[in-house]
Protein backbone atom coordinates (compact mmCIF):
# COMPACT_ATOMS: atom_id res chain seq x y z
CA UNK A 1 0.00 0.00 0.00
CA UNK A 2 1.37 3.42 -0.95
CA UNK A 3 1.83 6.20 1.60
CA UNK A 4 -1.21 8.41 2.13
CA UNK A 5 -0.97 11.98 0.92
CA UNK A 6 -3.41 14.76 1.73
CA UNK A 7 -4.36 17.07 -1.11
CA UNK A 8 -6.75 20.02 -1.26
CA UNK A 9 -9.31 20.25 -4.06
CA UNK A 10 -12.56 22.05 -4.77
CA UNK A 11 -15.67 20.23 -3.46
CA UNK A 12 -17.09 20.53 -6.97
CA UNK A 13 -14.29 18.30 -8.25
CA UNK A 14 -15.53 15.40 -6.14
CA UNK A 15 -18.28 13.01 -7.21
CA UNK A 16 -20.47 11.23 -4.61
CA UNK A 17 -20.69 7.48 -5.07
CA UNK A 18 -24.14 6.65 -6.45
CA UNK A 19 -24.16 3.33 -4.61
CA UNK A 20 -23.63 4.84 -1.17
CA UNK A 21 -26.35 3.32 1.03
CA UNK A 22 -25.66 5.58 4.00
CA UNK A 23 -28.06 8.51 4.34
CA UNK A 24 -27.57 11.88 6.05
CA UNK A 25 -30.41 14.05 7.30
CA UNK A 26 -30.33 17.82 6.87
CA UNK A 27 -29.91 18.14 10.63
CA UNK A 28 -26.85 15.89 10.63
CA UNK A 29 -25.28 17.76 7.71
CA UNK A 30 -25.82 20.98 9.68
CA UNK A 31 -24.16 19.42 12.73
CA UNK A 32 -21.17 18.29 10.67
CA UNK A 33 -20.92 21.79 9.19
CA UNK A 34 -20.97 23.28 12.70
CA UNK A 35 -18.21 20.88 13.74
CA UNK A 36 -16.09 21.87 10.75
CA UNK A 37 -16.60 25.54 11.57
CA UNK A 38 -15.57 24.99 15.19
CA UNK A 39 -12.69 22.50 14.82
CA UNK A 40 -11.68 22.79 11.17
CA UNK A 41 -11.77 20.12 8.47
CA UNK A 42 -9.81 17.56 10.47
CA UNK A 43 -10.96 14.41 8.69
CA UNK A 44 -10.19 14.25 4.95
CA UNK A 45 -12.58 12.84 2.35
CA UNK A 46 -11.43 9.47 0.98
CA UNK A 47 -11.70 9.25 -2.81
CA UNK A 48 -10.73 7.02 -5.71
CA UNK A 49 -8.29 8.03 -8.46
CA UNK A 50 -11.19 9.42 -10.51
CA UNK A 51 -12.30 11.57 -7.54
CA UNK A 52 -15.33 9.45 -6.64
CA UNK A 53 -16.04 9.63 -2.90
CA UNK A 54 -15.39 6.43 -0.98
CA UNK A 55 -15.80 7.79 2.56
CA UNK A 56 -16.87 11.25 3.68
CA UNK A 57 -20.14 11.93 1.86
CA UNK A 58 -21.49 13.78 4.90
CA UNK A 59 -18.35 15.88 5.24
CA UNK A 60 -18.50 16.79 1.54
CA UNK A 61 -22.14 17.85 1.83
CA UNK A 62 -21.30 19.91 4.93
CA UNK A 63 -18.40 21.59 3.10
CA UNK A 64 -20.74 22.60 0.28
CA UNK A 65 -23.28 23.86 2.82
CA UNK A 66 -20.61 26.09 4.36
CA UNK A 67 -19.44 27.26 0.96
CA UNK A 68 -15.87 25.99 1.35
CA UNK A 69 -13.70 26.41 -1.72
CA UNK A 70 -11.36 23.52 -0.89
CA UNK A 71 -11.45 20.32 1.14
CA UNK A 72 -8.71 17.85 2.12
CA UNK A 73 -8.76 14.51 0.34
CA UNK A 74 -6.81 11.26 0.41
CA UNK A 75 -6.70 9.24 -2.80
CA UNK A 76 -6.80 5.45 -2.50
CA UNK A 77 -5.24 4.36 -5.76
CA UNK A 78 -4.51 0.71 -4.95
CA UNK A 79 -8.08 -0.50 -4.40
CA UNK A 80 -10.00 -2.62 -6.84
CA UNK A 81 -13.62 -1.75 -7.57
CA UNK A 82 -14.76 -4.57 -5.30
CA UNK A 83 -12.49 -3.32 -2.50
CA UNK A 84 -13.86 0.20 -2.83
CA UNK A 85 -17.48 -0.92 -2.77
CA UNK A 86 -16.82 -3.10 0.28
CA UNK A 87 -14.98 -0.29 2.05
CA UNK A 88 -17.89 2.14 1.52
CA UNK A 89 -20.10 -0.26 3.48
CA UNK A 90 -17.47 -1.18 6.09
CA UNK A 91 -16.54 2.44 6.84
CA UNK A 92 -20.12 3.22 7.84
CA UNK A 93 -21.07 -0.08 9.48
CA UNK A 94 -17.97 -0.52 11.64
CA UNK A 95 -18.39 2.98 13.11
CA UNK A 96 -22.04 2.21 13.79
CA UNK A 97 -21.06 -0.84 15.87
CA UNK A 98 -19.11 1.27 18.38
CA UNK A 99 -20.68 2.03 21.75
CA UNK A 100 -20.29 4.53 24.59
CA UNK A 101 -18.78 4.21 28.04
CA UNK A 102 -21.51 6.36 29.54
CA UNK A 103 -19.69 6.99 32.82
CA UNK A 104 -16.64 8.34 30.97
CA UNK A 105 -18.89 10.26 28.59
CA UNK A 106 -20.63 11.88 31.56
CA UNK A 107 -17.26 13.00 32.98
CA UNK A 108 -16.28 14.58 29.66
CA UNK A 109 -19.63 16.34 29.22
CA UNK A 110 -19.59 17.54 32.84
CA UNK A 111 -16.15 19.06 32.26
CA UNK A 112 -17.45 20.98 29.25
CA UNK A 113 -20.34 22.28 31.34
CA UNK A 114 -18.06 23.21 34.24
CA UNK A 115 -15.80 25.30 32.01
CA UNK A 116 -18.91 26.81 30.36
CA UNK A 117 -18.00 25.57 26.90
CA UNK A 118 -19.96 27.94 24.71
CA UNK A 119 -21.45 25.44 22.24
CA UNK A 120 -21.75 22.05 23.87
CA UNK A 121 -24.21 20.85 21.23
CA UNK A 122 -21.35 20.85 18.71
CA UNK A 123 -20.54 17.45 20.24
CA UNK A 124 -23.62 16.10 18.47
CA UNK A 125 -25.54 15.60 21.73
CA UNK A 126 -28.60 17.74 22.38
CA UNK A 127 -29.03 19.50 25.72
CA UNK A 128 -31.77 17.04 26.64
CA UNK A 129 -29.51 14.07 25.94
CA UNK A 130 -26.69 15.63 27.96
CA UNK A 131 -29.00 16.21 30.93
CA UNK A 132 -30.13 12.57 30.83
CA UNK A 133 -26.54 11.29 30.69
CA UNK A 134 -25.44 13.48 33.61
CA UNK A 135 -28.53 12.59 35.66
CA UNK A 136 -27.91 8.90 35.03
CA UNK A 137 -24.29 9.23 36.18
CA UNK A 138 -25.32 11.23 39.24
CA UNK A 139 -27.78 8.55 40.33
CA UNK A 140 -25.05 5.88 40.06
CA UNK A 141 -22.50 7.91 42.03
CA UNK A 142 -22.06 6.53 45.58
CA UNK A 143 -23.06 8.86 48.38
CA UNK A 144 -20.19 10.23 50.42
CA UNK A 145 -20.28 9.40 54.11
CA UNK A 146 -18.62 11.15 56.99
CA UNK A 147 -19.01 12.45 60.52
CA UNK A 148 -21.38 15.20 59.38
CA UNK A 149 -23.89 12.84 57.75
CA UNK A 150 -26.40 13.33 60.56
CA UNK A 151 -26.19 17.09 60.01
CA UNK A 152 -26.54 16.83 56.24
CA UNK A 153 -29.62 14.67 56.60
CA UNK A 154 -31.50 17.20 58.72
CA UNK A 155 -33.61 19.90 57.10
CA UNK A 156 -33.00 23.32 58.67
CA UNK A 157 -36.09 24.56 60.49
CA UNK A 158 -35.61 28.28 59.78
CA UNK A 159 -35.55 28.60 55.99
CA UNK A 160 -36.18 32.17 54.95
CA UNK A 161 -36.31 33.49 51.40
CA UNK A 162 -38.02 36.75 50.70
CA UNK A 163 -39.25 38.30 47.50
CA UNK A 164 -36.31 39.81 45.70
CA UNK A 165 -33.70 37.33 46.96
CA UNK A 166 -31.37 36.25 44.16
CA UNK A 167 -29.37 33.10 44.86
CA UNK A 168 -26.17 32.20 42.98
CA UNK A 169 -25.97 28.39 42.96
CA UNK A 170 -22.80 27.44 41.14
CA UNK A 171 -23.67 27.72 37.46
CA UNK A 172 -27.30 28.51 38.26
CA UNK A 173 -29.28 31.52 39.44
CA UNK A 174 -32.50 31.29 41.44
CA UNK A 175 -34.76 34.26 42.03
CA UNK A 176 -37.58 34.46 44.54
CA UNK A 177 -40.01 36.66 42.70
CA UNK A 178 -43.29 36.95 40.86
CA UNK A 179 -43.60 34.91 37.65
CA UNK A 180 -46.05 37.54 36.38
CA UNK A 181 -43.62 40.44 36.77
CA UNK A 182 -41.46 41.12 33.67
CA UNK A 183 -38.88 42.98 35.77
CA UNK A 184 -38.13 39.77 37.69
CA UNK A 185 -37.29 38.00 34.44
CA UNK A 186 -35.07 40.91 33.42
CA UNK A 187 -33.20 40.73 36.70
CA UNK A 188 -32.82 36.95 36.51
CA UNK A 189 -31.80 36.66 32.86
CA UNK A 190 -29.87 39.93 32.62
CA UNK A 191 -29.01 40.36 28.91
CA UNK A 192 -29.49 36.71 27.98
CA UNK A 193 -32.48 35.07 26.30
CA UNK A 194 -34.19 31.86 27.33
CA UNK A 195 -34.63 29.06 24.80
CA UNK A 196 -37.38 27.31 26.78
CA UNK A 197 -39.93 28.39 29.37
CA UNK A 198 -41.70 25.78 31.51
CA UNK A 199 -44.71 27.05 33.43
CA UNK A 200 -47.51 25.68 35.57
CA UNK A 201 -50.20 28.39 35.46
CA UNK A 202 -51.81 29.24 37.79
CA UNK A 203 -51.68 27.50 41.18
CA UNK A 204 -52.11 23.92 39.91
CA UNK A 205 -48.91 22.45 41.31
CA UNK A 206 -48.24 19.14 43.12
CA UNK A 207 -48.82 19.63 46.86
CA UNK A 208 -48.03 16.90 49.37
CA UNK A 209 -47.58 14.49 46.50
CA UNK A 210 -50.79 15.25 44.66
CA UNK A 211 -52.70 18.00 42.87
CA UNK A 212 -55.70 19.36 44.71
CA UNK A 213 -58.19 21.46 42.76
CA UNK A 214 -56.84 24.97 42.19
CA UNK A 215 -54.36 24.31 45.00
CA UNK A 216 -54.42 27.90 46.23
CA UNK A 217 -55.35 27.09 49.83
CA UNK A 218 -52.61 24.55 50.52
CA UNK A 219 -49.99 26.54 48.62
CA UNK A 220 -50.75 29.81 50.36
CA UNK A 221 -47.62 31.69 51.40
CA UNK A 222 -45.22 29.86 49.07
CA UNK A 223 -43.37 32.31 46.86
CA UNK A 224 -42.59 31.79 43.19
CA UNK A 225 -39.40 30.04 42.20
CA UNK A 226 -37.81 31.24 38.98
CA UNK A 227 -34.53 29.60 38.02
CA UNK A 228 -32.19 29.46 35.06
CA UNK A 229 -28.90 27.96 34.03
CA UNK A 230 -26.13 30.52 33.39
CA UNK A 231 -26.39 29.73 29.68
CA UNK A 232 -30.08 30.74 29.81
CA UNK A 233 -31.13 27.47 28.26
CA UNK A 234 -34.13 26.93 30.52
CA UNK A 235 -36.30 29.13 32.64
CA UNK A 236 -38.65 27.45 35.11
CA UNK A 237 -41.36 29.43 36.83
CA UNK A 238 -44.67 28.69 38.49
CA UNK A 239 -47.08 30.76 40.50
CA UNK A 240 -47.97 28.76 43.61
CA UNK A 241 -50.11 31.22 45.48
Q: Which domains does the chain have, with CATH numbers?
A: 6-96 (3.90.1530.10), 102-138 (no CATH), 164-237 (no CATH)
Residues 6+ apart with CB under 8 A from 126: none
Distances (CA, A) of 222 to 138, 140, 147, 159, 207: 29, 33, 33, 12, 11
Distances (CA, A) of 196 to 55, 79, 203, 215: 38, 51, 20, 25
Split the chain (241 residues) into runs of 10 and give each run's mean pLDDT. 86 95 93 95 94 95 96 92 93 90 93 90 91 86 56 58 79 79 84 70 52 41 42 40 37
Residues 62-71: tens digit of each pLDDT: 999 999 999 9
Please give the model's pTM, rounded to 2 decimal places.
0.57
Amino acid sequence: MSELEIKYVSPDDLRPYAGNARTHSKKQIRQIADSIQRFGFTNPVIVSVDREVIAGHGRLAAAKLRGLTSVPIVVLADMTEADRRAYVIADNKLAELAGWDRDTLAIELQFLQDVQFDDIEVTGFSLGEIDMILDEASEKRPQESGPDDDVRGRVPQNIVSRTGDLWILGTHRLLCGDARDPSDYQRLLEDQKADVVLTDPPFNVPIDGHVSGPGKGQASGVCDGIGRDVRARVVICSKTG
